[in-house]
Amino acid sequence: MFSLNHFVQKLTHQKNWRFIAITLIVTTLAIACNSTKTTTTTSETVTAPEAGTVVWARYRDSDTLDPHKSTSPLSRQIIDQIYDTLLAFDDQGKIQPNLAKEWSVNDNGQEYTFKLNENIKCHDGTTFDAKAVKFTIDRAINPETQNSTKDSWGPIETVEVVDDLTVKVKMAEAFSPFPRFLADPYSSMICPSAIQTYNEKFGIDGAIGTGPFKFVEWTQGEQLVLEPNPDYKNYGRTVDNSGTPYINKLVIKTMPEVEARLAALKSGEIHLTEPPITEVSNLKKDSNLKLYTAENTGQIVFLEFVTYRPPFNDKKARQAVAYGIDVKKTIEEVLAGLVKPSECPIVDVMFPNDEKLCSEFSIKPDQEEAKTLLSELGYSEDKPLEVTLLTWRGGNREKILENFQTQLEEVGIKANLETMDIGSLNARIKQENSQAEGNGVIDMMGWSWYDPNFLYKLWHSPGWMGGYHSDELDTLLTEMRSATNSKERQEKVVEVQKYLLDNAVMIPLYSPGWMWNYVSSSDLEGFKIGVFNRPFFNDVKLSTAMDKKEAVTSPASSEKEVVEQEVNSEENIEDKDSIASPENE
């Protein structure tokens, strides 16, 4: 049956359409749109989901369900439903058992031993054992796999099957981030039968893991269908349900336009979606909806400098910027209540941290000190330092830079602002870091990861995009990632952060770096967001009212309707699956 709501959604996939005088005559209509059949309609009908089915609408589809082929957070969300990991994070970001019930590392930090739980079943009924772990890791680090997260596995030399439930992983050198990576969805364990079944089409035509949901079908660009794994046993996820998920089906729809998603949520066509930040305050007021905000995401936003050329190859110029801005005041004015100002280069959930300690190292606002440093560099009121401030679109980041622009002008720094998409920003930074001449460049960048090792990726020679690096910092970063003793590693993490703050290599701004908000119908119960922005559906139930909900029918009309609507696709949504991060290693 023809639906105006469905018709508008189809058209709103295209940008900047203005629909004027869409005439619907309640008679037999011949509709030639997307091969829709000719139908007769006497009413406006909203399609309600099947009983027990949860529909989650997202602004973009996954690229693949192969954990070794994707670095997209949107794929990561679904990978996390289909597969499980050897280890897991608790609600504070600490490591705990999962598929592996215990693990250990030898004295030199080069040999890890994992003992698996018994009777773990893959979705196709095959047994998940030590051979499956070896298969997964060997495939992940094989150059032919072209795994973008290969470096995150560390310098693995061999993977040895000791017995059916025991695996030993030997490293060429100590690599302390390894256990934390084994709790991230990109380290998801694959069942060997998946490759045998799907070959080169694994991750597209199908997927087989041990996670709470099984792959059913996927029409790319439209919807992905999952169903509960009847053999599932939860060993490490921070949910209450220890077995099979309660719902009958999980459908993930692709709906690019925010207006269409919110309309579908309110009409009962979907149960969950991600709203733009501009709608959050309004959605909070709607008693028929529930709003969720991801916390402990591991995301940090900071300022960094092009240090290949003057003026920011000089520490004094970088410090002048740090003294010249008031981060706390700016964040409170622009993002009040949504984020927390950061003084540390890493966030707590990545590793036990001490904001008070970072406060001792960080540079506090001091306009007079900023002016003094600029004077020592030869700048004055008559000769201001001219710089360019860059960032990527969305999240009110341009407003933050406008605030900084005003503050910097007061100390003698003239800043020109530029915003662009994240891909263009990354390319621009790389280009600027290779040029010996030009104005000073500062960019506001965001990174997301699970471990302080992202600092190694950023600053160890040759540096991220050719950015800052030094021999002293290289040594500290190498020591940080090779210290497997927790106390020693804590000390090294502090030393690295002290160096970065003392030398104004990066100026921490706030966390979470970009807001992940979710909104659901009030009938959805038990939804939870784990650390590092991981949606969990293990505990999700639909209330009786939703289970029995029938399609909503609007009053029939014998008169023609005229609808005038402008649909603007320039929604205020983050390009979350392309944010610069170690996920793109």
Radius of gyration over every alpha carbon of the chain, rounded to an integer in angstroms: 26
Instruction: Select, from the ranges 19-23, 110-114, 459-463, 468-472, the one with the highest average predicted confidence (pLDDT).
Output: 110-114
Mean pLDDT for all residues in the chain: 85
Tokens for 412? 């003698």
What average pLDDT does range 463-483 have in this prediction?
92
Q: What is the pLDDT of residues 85-100, one digit of tens each?
A: 999 999 989 999 999 9
Q: What is the pLDDT at residue 544? A: 58
Distance of CA 311 to the CA centre of its chain: 33
More confident residue, 151 or 573: 151
The size of the chain, in residues, is 585
pLDDT digits (tens, 9 = 90+) for 157-206: 999 999 999 999 999 999 999 999 999 999 999 999 999 999 999 999 99
How confident is the model at residue 572, as a pLDDT?
Answer: 34
CA 522 – CA 527 distance, rounded (Å)? 11
pLDDT in tens, 210-249: 999 999 999 999 999 999 999 999 999 999 999 999 999 9
* pLDDT beyond 80 at 126: yes
What's residue 584's pLDDT? 36
User: If you average pLDDT over residues 131-142, what whole number do you get?
Assistant: 98
The whole-angstrom separation of Cα 553 and Cα 290 is 24
Could you tell me which residues are beta bridge partners of residue 156?
A: 171
Confidence class of residue 580 from pLDDT cuts 50, 70 and 90?
Answer: very low
**For the residues 451-467, what does the mean pLDDT come to?**
89
Question: Cβ(571)–Cβ(15) under 8 Å?
Answer: no
Per residue in 276-315, pLDDT (tens digit) is: 877 887 888 898 999 998 888 888 999 999 999 999 999 9
Which pLDDT belongs to residue 419? 95
pLDDT reading at 46 higher than 70: no
pLDDT band at 447 (very low <50, low <70, confident <90, very high): confident
Say if residue 357's pLDDT is above 90: no
Mean pLDDT for 441-450 is 90
**Model confidence at 55: pLDDT above 90:** yes
CA angle 412, 315, 365 (to 5 degrees): 50
Confidence class of residue 515 from pLDDT cuts 50, 70 and 90? low
Distances (CA, A) of 441 to 330, 373, 399, 417, 468: 20, 18, 18, 10, 13
Surface-to-core class of residue 301, CB atoms within 10 Å of its CB (0-12 exposed, 13-18 middle, 19+ buried): buried
Evaluate if residue 337 carries a pLDDT over 80.
no
Q: What is the mean pLDDT of residues 35-40?
A: 34
CB 262 within 8 A of CB 57: no
Sequence letter at residue 91: D
Mean pLDDT, to the nearest integer, of 33-62?
65
User: DSSP 3-state assignment of 197?
Assistant: helix
End-to-end CA distance of the chain: 48
- pLDDT (tens digit per residue) in 519-577: 999 999 999 999 998 999 999 999 854 444 443 333 333 332 333 222 222 333 344 43
3-state secondary structure 386-444: EEEEEEECCCCHHHHHHHHHHHHHHHCEEEEEEEECHHHHHHHHHHHCCCCCCCEEEEE
